[in-house]
Amino acid sequence: KAGVTQTPRYLIKTRGQQVTLSCSPISGHRSVSWYQQTPGQGLQFLFEYFSETQRNKGNFPGRFSGRQFSNSRSEMNVSTLELGDSALYLCASSLARESGGPSYEQYFGPGTRLTVT
Amino acid sequence: AQSVTQLGSHVSVSEGALVLLRCNYSSSVPPYLFWYVQYPNQGLQLLLKYTSAATLVKGINGFEAEFKKSETSFHLTKPSAHMSDAAEYFCAAQTYTGKLIFGQGTTLQVKP
């Protein structure tokens, strides 16, 4: 089975621009979660999508948004980029239950390295 | 609120020595716990998981972890370190909503 794929792998943007990152989950996985990784804050949860609906949300401003398509692929969008948005953005997919909750492990993609100048 | 604490941001061992990476979690109810490894410029790879079935969990690459409720700990060990084990290791707790809360990570250095 193919793993989680993320595109692009590297991205350089300028402050004020917007960016869209893409994630394709493992086949059969309906849950996609996004995490931001920075040296200062570590790994932080952004949001989770399940069956095209946002099910959980972390503590990030509204500039961070996402969506999920019917084939479970997900996109994450960041508008009005700030220097502090420079990070590795990781996507993770999981079998997850329709009722939500823990127990299913999450499998991570290689990430998208975003640099904001 | 749940939190995960990894003691020691850097751990250095000699090749062949015991690896011990420490993780403590805070919660009134044992969560689901995971250890992930991250190699440079890569994503996170799952090493092992605890889901209350057994307190001693064996993972990939010879790693194992023991869940100790009384100590709220989930330390990762490997009897003999290899050079290829050099990486960053993350302990994570999964909340009842399913999201992962990560520790700050521990960089493992393996000296020849």
Residues A36-78 have pLDDT tens digits of 999 999 999 999 999 999 998 999 999 999 999 999 999 999 9
Confidence of residue A101 (pLDDT cuts 50, 70, 90): low
Quick one: how far is CA B62 from the chain centroid?
Answer: 13
**Which among A42, A105, A109 has the least Cβ separation from residue B34?**
A105
**Which among B44, B97, B98 has the least Cβ separation from residue A90?**
B44
Check A102 against B46: CB less than 8 A apart: no
For residue B2, the chain A residues in CB contact (below 8 A) are none
Q: Is the dihedral of CA A99, B48, B92, B73 positive or negative?
A: positive
Write b or e for each residue in A19-33: b if 16 or more Cβ atoms lie within 10 A of its Cβ, otherwise e: bebebbbbeebbbbb
Check A100 against B97: CB less than 8 A apart: yes
Report the candidate in A42, A92, A89, A45 with the shortest Cα–Cα distance to residue A72.
A92
pLDDT at residue A44, as a whole number: 96
E strands within chain A?
A: 5-7, 10-13, 19-24, 31-38, 42-50, 53-57, 64-68, 74-78, 87-94, 107-108, 112-116
Confidence of residue B53 (pLDDT cuts 50, 70, 90): confident
Check A90 against B103: CB less than 8 A apart: no
